[in-house]
Amino acid sequence: MIDQTQPSLEANDGTRHDAERGAFIVLEGIEGVGKTTQMAVAQRALEQAGKALVCTREPGGTAAGEALRSVLLDKDGAPLSLEAETLLMFAARANHLHEKIRPALNRGDWVLCDRFTDASYAYQGAGRQLGVARIAVLEKWVQAELRPDLVIVLDADPELALTRAKNRGPVDRFEQESLDFFHRARQVYLDRAKDHPERYAVIDASMSLEDVTAAVEATVSGFARQWGVS
């Protein structure tokens, strides 16, 4: 099911968006929902709209962030405590914001990111059961008032999504987690979308590739029009 609610032109601090600032768009979802494919779809739609665009990912996006990504995703690496994993995620995010995301937005570029803080709510907060309150504290510290202007959640039943993920090749540290882990993570994505319908769009990633692509294109193009891009 696609949530057809279009994000408003209200900025995430409650004021109307600054026309000089670029928009911040994030694709989210559990493993195997097709984010990599749909990132390319969203990128193409935004470039066709004539926007200067920065495409990036989390964890990663900077030299330091990519180094931390290797540590975080390596299933054969040294074990990480839950606290260490969470803090490393936010350390990478803080650097990402400082080096890439905020500078791009401030110069008027749009940013398209594969995962952001919703992933921490879903994976560490719910999947690993740290609790959303601790994630919220770190979010406020690292991001201040900045939130994505549009979050596209690609949603699918975890059994289907994990089958897809495992069929595409070797799994990483997160992809080897239990089905219950991903059920908890999925529910947080859906709950956050329900709580903030002005900024979220949920797309059924179990549809055919053509239908998912059409839904992503429509969502991104509709948001761009609302933002004032013809």
Which CATH number goes with the domain that contains 107?
3.40.50.300
Structural domains counted in the chain: 1
Structural domain that includes position 81: 24-226
Residue 14 falls within a domain, yes or no? no
The tokens of 188 are what?
């947080």
Residue 91 falls within a domain, yes or no? yes
The SS3 of residue 204 is: strand
Q: If you count them, how many residues does the chain have?
A: 230
Nearest to 113 by CA among 85, 92, 86, 137: 92
Q: What's the pLDDT tens digit per position in 1-20?
A: 444 444 443 444 433 355 57
- Tell me what pLDDT residue 19 has: 57
Residue 119 falls within a domain, yes or no? yes
Helix, strand, coil percentages for the chain (3-state, nearest 5): 50, 10, 35
- Tell me what pLDDT residue 165 has: 82
Q: Which residues of the chain have pLDDT under 50?
A: 1-16, 230
The SS3 of residue 14 is: coil
- Tell me what pLDDT residue 119 has: 97
Report the 10 Å Cβ neighbour count for 18. 11
The SS3 of residue 86 is: helix
